[in-house]
Structure 1
């Protein structure tokens, strides 16, 4: 007979009443499905990865807060803010580039580049995006520095958390949360500056003249930054963010990740024991410094896990300990699982650049670069003058008193330059036809007409085309030519309707 106790998990999942419980029937159900949140008090550390993290944090925050205030001269007819999402004018400005609504494919290309860039970074160095440049990481890191500034380092914060509420604790919490709130408010305030002229919107905001949506947006972003960066922190990375689950599908044994080399560190023992019996213990002295500095509070020695954001602060902590006890660095290090197996077998580890140069990363780089070059090429050769024509459907044509045939069209002439330009509209492929517009009377009808298009605008024109009486149904073109040194042209295919058109 088979002992049921030896297969308790199978027995539990086989019964309908135990289908959602991953424990044996004789075991009590778990008290909760998720681990209760534990406050992470990460310790201050210095090292090359911590310094790099400082540099990335300062750079990203500076770009975010300062960019809306950078000026860019586009002439008297366009905004002078370097980066601006002009929702009212339906434009996107980025320094010398201006994107119109019908050119959304440029934005789509940038989004595709961003996605492929994430794939490239992940396949090369794991979750480095999460560890250094993710907004949640950047603001969490900033708030953790505020914690140290107000409450002290790790041990002081642990003692303060355990202490009863009193005047000192209340004062520290009030000061810290006020700083959180100020930073969160600046974050929301900086965001809305990307959608309007920053100096003007700032003045309107503080005088109560800004649009209600501006105040609402700032309030929402202030609240989310305050809560997610100040209190939820690692919970966002572990439970809320879908990206870690996606990233695991892009990692393989050739990806560089933060790894604990257990063949070198195990079995663990205190420094005293290790010095007394060096042949019995590995290099890890179980000091738990790697846990103390981790911003998500995980133990990297337990292997790859979803809580690891690959910030590499544990490498800085472990390298410092190894230096103090006279052991070689690299017990915790950036390494591929493939190289770890080879190193455990006694082979020399590969240089990092060899781990990065592999078919997958090269393919991602080539795709990413090709899309970027295609976008730059398209921006360089794009036309800043466009025309589109829509014929009237009811009636499709009119017979004039002299027997000639008249069609009506709605033309849209787009001037994508930041200055007014004269545009010449003409007819091609319709012999004997003339045209006039709502602004140019029939008495001035001609094969071509000149209109004035304002800067960065689409001009809608009511155009009438008249052709001789014997003109059949014919496909023809409206043309537009800018009357400046650029002489840009564009055409729009359409149809001339006549009697007998079905």
Structure 2
């Protein structure tokens, strides 16, 4: 500079730090072992039940659907073998959901997220999609190399085959879901011949598309970020719950082991049994490292890392169960040199078990005593009553009778509570419908019959403006009966 001052060079600005990291693809490695066999058996049973159930036939007689498990939204009825649930019995569905939730709480208190690892539909279908991916693209190392390799005809063919398999499984799954809501054989024929309804095609495409998206693309992201259960299940765990754990007291310090190195030399340097092979990380479908501590919010307790670690321990000639299903209480007790016995019966398991017993027992008792006949009565509000020419009073009612049997029924309708009251059903044969103390009505099989009913009573029988009135319906042939309380209206006293 002319004034002799020294110009300092400008310092380079540090690279900006980002808190966002793109999602990395997780390629779980195939593994063999006890928990892998258990998962395969569980998945096979669950998938067989899902796909076979809509095809099971169950004759109910008449024009009733012959599908064993059918959630018919057009009738609407829920058919589950011999059980038929009507819309007004939706409380049974509420009871089933509560019972299932308590069962999930109980399972979690015993063995952590064992439901997520073995029974969750997302886990089942994701495992199937990974199996298809492994068929076309190979195991973990080969899939990783294939993803990093430039596009080539071979890579395109492998990717295309994988996605074709995914789409085929998604289409079969979409059909499986829709088949629970309409007759399965008829649905299959209508879909193939393009004669299915718009609703059938819409829900078929929806279920197939969501299966392809969730099991093929989101995978572990569903478990980590979308499912609320990982954030809730921590409240059901205690120190005695079985979870996948790593025995740090035995495995640390961990590090690679040279073939020429003996275990005595290794332990003399302060190393443990873990040789840091990362086999447990490579087989994990969530991509976590169980050795970093209890992963309560991410680990799904599938046990695949146990199989992987056991195979390494056997190969090294060491005891297994470095990674195992264990409880924190067991680890602390063993660290103190004391024996530990796993406690199945604990306060929370007793509570969940008793709640399930009460709710299940109440549902079974209610279902065993559920009536085959149900009536509802709605009294007209305008006008409140009609005064006839002879001075008697008449009230009008809308009367509905639900016949929950598969046979046509004839019933006798009577009223009680108002002296001298007579009942008449509009539309009855006049030869039998002249105002009497009883009326005959009929109901078709498995249907709701609606009638217009008039009740007439002398003015002198009303001491108040509103008098309790009871409708009684009896099927003398089958000993079914039901009653409904209502009121009979008239003018205020003195008017």
- What TM-score, normalized by structure 1, do the two folds share? 0.90
Q: 1:156 to 1:120 in 2, by over 3 A?
A: same
Partner of 2:8: none
Whether the 8 Å CA contact 1:85–1:196 is kept in 2: the answer is: yes
CA distance in 2, matches of 1:313, 1:116: 26
CA-to-aligned-CA distance 1:212-237 (integer Å, 9 cap, x gap): 12111111222211121112211111
* 1:245-324 pair list within 5 angstroms: 245-272=231-258, 273=261, 275=263, 276-279=265-268, 280-305=270-295, 306-324=297-315
Choose which of 154, 167, 175 in structure 2 pairs with 1:181: 167
Choose which of 65, 69, 73 in structure 2 pairs with 1:87: 73
CA-to-aligned-CA distance 1:425-466 (integer Å, 9 cap, x gap): 111222222211122156532222222201111111001111
CA-to-aligned-CA distance 1:79-103 (integer Å, 9 cap, x gap): 1211111111121111111111111
Unaligned runs of 5+ in 2: 1-12
- RMSD in angstroms over aligned alpha carbons? 1.8
> Is 1:31 aligned with 2:12?
no
* 1:13-412 pair list within 5 angstroms: 30-33=17-20, 35-272=21-258, 273=261, 275=263, 276-279=265-268, 280-305=270-295, 306-350=297-341, 354-412=342-400
CA distance in 1, matches of 2:190, 2:161: 29
Partner of 1:495: 487
Choose which of 432, 445, 448 in structure 1 pairs with 2:435: 445
Partner of 2:405: 417
Count of paired positions:
472
Bigger mean CA offset, 444-453 vs 48-57: 444-453
CA-to-aligned-CA distance 1:154-196 (integer Å, 9 cap, x gap): 2221221121111111011111100100111111111111111
Partner of 1:21: none
Choose which of 471, 474, 480 in structure 1 pairs with 2:467: 474
CA distance in 1, matches of 2:80, 2:390: 55
How far apart are residue 208 of structure 1 and its match? 2.4
How far apart are residue 141 of structure 1 and its match? 0.4
How far apart are residue 277 of structure 1 and its match? 2.8
Whether the 8 Å CA contact 1:256–1:355 is kept in 2: the answer is: no
Whether the 8 Å CA contact 1:415–1:457 is kept in 2: the answer is: yes
Bigger mean CA offset, 474-483 vs 135-144: 474-483
Partner of 1:463: 453
Bigger mean CA offset, 404-413 vs 266-275: 266-275
SS at match of 2:300: coil
Partner of 2:417: 429
CA distance in 1, matches of 2:469, 2:16: 78
How far apart are residue 120 of structure 1 and its match? 0.9
CA distance in 2, matches of 1:217, 1:46: 37
Whether the 8 Å CA contact 1:127–1:309 is kept in 2: the answer is: yes
Bigger mean CA offset, 378-387 vs 298-307: 298-307
CA distance in 1, matches of 2:92, 2:202: 30
SS at match of 2:459: coil
CA distance in 1, matches of 2:397, 2:480: 22
CA distance in 2, matches of 1:465, 1:375: 37
CA distance in 2, matches of 1:28, 1:488: 82
Whether the 8 Å CA contact 1:385–1:482 is kept in 2: the answer is: no
CA distance in 2, matches of 1:108, 1:30: 50
How far apart are residue 28 of structure 1 and its match? 6.8
Partner of 2:7: none
How far apart are residue 346 of structure 1 and its match? 2.4
Partner of 1:9: none
SS at match of 1:190: helix
Partner of 2:5: none
Q: 1:27 to 1:361 in 2, by over 3 A?
A: farther
How far apart are residue 405 of structure 1 and its match? 1.6
Q: 1:282 to 1:202 in 2, by over 3 A?
A: same
Unaligned runs of 5+ in 1: 1-25
Whether the 8 Å CA contact 1:423–1:482 is kept in 2: the answer is: yes
- What TM-score, normalized by structure 2, do the two folds share? 0.91
How far apart are residue 495 of structure 1 and its match? 0.9
SS at match of 1:361: helix
CA distance in 2, matches of 1:488, 1:321: 69
CA-to-aligned-CA distance 1:3-27 (integer Å, 9 cap, x gap): xxxxxxxxxxxxxxxxxxxxxxx99
CA distance in 1, matches of 2:147, 2:219: 17
